[in-house]
Amino acid sequence: MVQRFKGSRVPLFQPWGTRQEGRAVARVLRSHWWAMGPEVARFEREFLEALAPDDGWHAVMTNSGTAALHLALVVAGVCPGRSVVMPSFNFVSAAHCVRLLGGEVIFCDVRDFDLNLDPVDAEVRAQPNTVALVALHYAGNACVWTEIEALRQRKPMVIIEDVAHACGARTTGWRPAGFCGDLGCFSFHAVKHIASPDAGMVVTRNRKWAEAMRRMRWLGISRDTGDKETKPDYSITGVGFKYTPNDIAAAICRVQLRRWPRGVCRRRAICRRYDIELFDLPWLQIPEVNWSHGAPLIYWIRVKNQRMRDALREHLRERGIDSAVHFRPLHLEECYRRSALRLPVTERESSRLLCLPVYPEMSRKTIRRVVQAIRDFGEGRNGGN
């Protein structure tokens, strides 16, 4: 019989909002400029001031992380007859964008210790027509950048970082994730480190690409929506999308940006607490990552097999604790399935993986509740066997 849980649920994610966000939104509403305008420009500037490691970066805000990836893939030259390498252990956004541009998606495997892409496998799978590689920094742990740089030396291609999970993570040489490759794509969706109803950002050092993405985010129109006074006329210089962010989301993002370093510290502390509380369980594997370099979005554990994972997930659900499987391999999804393609690490690890709640306001008591529920599961199964 399914036990019904009474009491508060523990969500997987929860945005950290305060009255400051409310005041920022009210200010925009009173200004009567709700569409893309001065708040977007300010957020783009402040984002670079907070994150960019040096001068020369351009930031183009969009209405989602998916839109950011789409624009990045366009300027990277993805079109029919060209391909893009990315891990199959991934959210679907980048793959769909490649397909929508008429390009081919080449999936590669991940490494079992951090679940980030395997550069050796990516290199083997890349084709002469491969123009770009999408490097996802999974769950807030940055890829080892020296290896990706070495891969690019041998196989020249545009490197796009998917930083949706990792705003604030550091990689080789303490470089911030998103500012290592040619284009960095961030998401400010409600569950992310900088949370808003929906928004994203592309950063690049390439001024021409930045200008092209700026035009494309607003239907190829040569003037931003907030520029009416300085540029009264406009022309349509090419085709584009309706990927404009709005000032309400940007105002929320500006407040979130100021709180973001504290949020990252809290997320690290929660993951360290999980490490300490769970490392002695022989039936469960904790992540082998250094949280002090990361900006964790989720905490992932691995158990013996899929049956055990699904049973643990159900056990947590009955106790009011949300968990999730991020990600199921894309190459096994109907839309991308190819019978011959086998990615052994991706298939094995995703089948036994479970993601646990992490959000800045998660209390010690709530962490203990999650840990206790996991321990009870092990005891109920004779030590997890």
Ligand X SMILES: Cc1ncc(COP(=O)(O)O)c(C=O)c1O
Minimum CB distance to ligand X, residue 164 (Å): 3
Q: For residues 67-96, which are near ligand X according to CB under 6 A?
A: 91, 93
Scanning 44-52, 64-72, 105-113, 262-270 for contacts with ligand X by CB under 6 A, the matching segment is 64-72
Q: Residue 114, interface with ligand X (CB under 6 A)?
A: no
* Nearer to ligand X among residue 182 and residue 284 (C-beta): 182
CB of 77 to ligand X, least distance (A): 20
Work out how close the CB of 187 gets to ligand X at its nearest, in angstroms, rounded to a whole number.
3
Query: Closest residue to ligand X, Cβ-based?
Result: 65
Nearest to ligand X of 189, 331 (CB atom) = 189
Near ligand X by CB under 6 A: residue from 39, 51, 64, 264: 64
Whole-number minimum distance, CB 141 to ligand X, in Å? 13
Q: How far is the CB of 65 from ligand X (least distance, A)?
A: 3
With CB under 6 A as the contact rule, which of the stretches 21-29, 98-106, 158-166, 206-214 interacts with ligand X?
158-166
Q: With CB under 6 A as the contact rule, which of the stretches 2-10, 60-68, 139-147, 271-279 interacts with ligand X? A: 60-68
Which of 95, 97, 164, 169 touches ligand X (CB under 6 A)?
Answer: 164
Question: Binding-site residue total for ligand X (CB under 6 A)?
Answer: 12
Choice from 200, 263, 287, 378 touching ligand X (CB under 6 A) = 200
Pair of tokens at residue 68 = 């950011």
Could you tell me the CA-to-CA distances from 378 to 103, 257, 309, 358, 372 in Å, in that order? 46, 40, 12, 21, 10
CA-nearest of 302, 328, 324 to 90 is 328
Does 66 engage in binding with ligand X (CB under 6 A)?
yes
Question: How far is it, in rounded angstroms, from Cα 59 to Cα 170?
Answer: 19
Of the residues 21, 114, 162, 247, which one makes contact with ligand X according to CB under 6 A? 162
* Interface residue list for ligand X (CB under 6 A): 64-66, 91, 93, 136, 162, 164-165, 187, 189, 200
